[in-house]
Chains A and B, each alone.
Chain A
Amino acid sequence: MKFTLVIFSAPHSAEGAASALRFARALLASGHNLYRVFFYGDGVHNASALEAPPQDESHIVAGWQALQQQHQLDLVVCIAAAQRRGLLSASEAERLGKPAANLAAGFELAGLGQLVDAVVYSDRLVTFGD
């Protein structure tokens, strides 16, 4: 079955972010297909290259990156939600005249059309957030 996950939870703030990552691992391990993961609202912080949790805590960004490499996942971060919250790719940082970029490797910035497309082409849409 084709799944899309929508994530509204910021990592290390709300349970939804860690649950989404575990759910993604479980569905891939069960042989399902993960069409796309769409990060929206505060969920955009799951794509920050600057996440630096203490060693004995879960490293959610790295978890997504490892899964992305293993399964060639489509990890899409809403560009409008990301810009509002200071999550920028190198090209966006340059375009907007900001001093740094922090979009982690393996994630892509794109518009809400990618969410709409995912709704249409997935069998199941699962939302993680409060």
Chain B
Amino acid sequence: MSKSILALCRRPPYGDALAREGLEAVLAAAAMEQAPVLLFMHDGVFQLLKDQNAKSIEQKSVRRNLEALSIFGIDKLYVCQHSLEKRNLNCGQLRLPGIAIELIADPGRFIAAFDSVLSF
């Protein structure tokens, strides 16, 4: 059975454990050949920032989980344009090797196109 699955990543990378646990669930799904599409919105856009120094607050970097996505053939991530602009960020500050980023102007319509949504 094949379903289109969206993972909604809304949590700040180190402010909420569900940021990391959400990515772990995404990787588990991808390993079972149910790779979801990922949409980052609200404070979740901070997960994608390059130059994170997680060690300085005794945390594991979420970047490692994100970089593992390409192993499972996920080569594109979607980011809510409004969330990014509201936080005064731009695409150039969100870089992951081998993974493209596409901005989404209308997240409501984007989300509605999926069969299931995993909300983190």
Contacts and interface: CB of A to CB of B under 8 A. Distances in A.
A119 B3 contact: yes
A41 interface: yes
The 8 A-B pairs with the shortest beta carbon distances in the complex, nearest first, are A112-B28, A127-B119, A116-B29, A116-B32, A41-B18, A125-B116, A119-B116, A112-B25
Interface string B7-21: 000000000011001
A121 B32 CA distance: 14
A119 B18 contact: no
Q: Interface residues of A: mostly helix, strand, loop or mixed?
A: helix
A119 B34 contact: yes
A61 interface: no
B18 A116 contact: no
Contacts of A80: 24
Interface in A67-107: 78, 80-81, 84
Contacts of A117: 32
A120 B1 contact: yes
Interface residues of B, number: 16
Contacts of A63: none
B5 interface: yes
A121 B116 CA distance: 11
Interface of B: 1, 3, 5, 17-18, 21, 24-25, 28-29, 32, 34, 116-119
Given A119-B34, A119-B116, A8 B25 contact: no
Contact of B21 (A41, A119, A121, A127): A41
B25 A115 contact: yes
A42 to B, nearest CB: 8
A40 B21 contact: yes
B73 to A, nearest CB: 16
A41 B29 CA distance: 17
Given A41-B18, A125-B117, A127-B119, A119 B29 contact: yes
B28 A8 contact: no
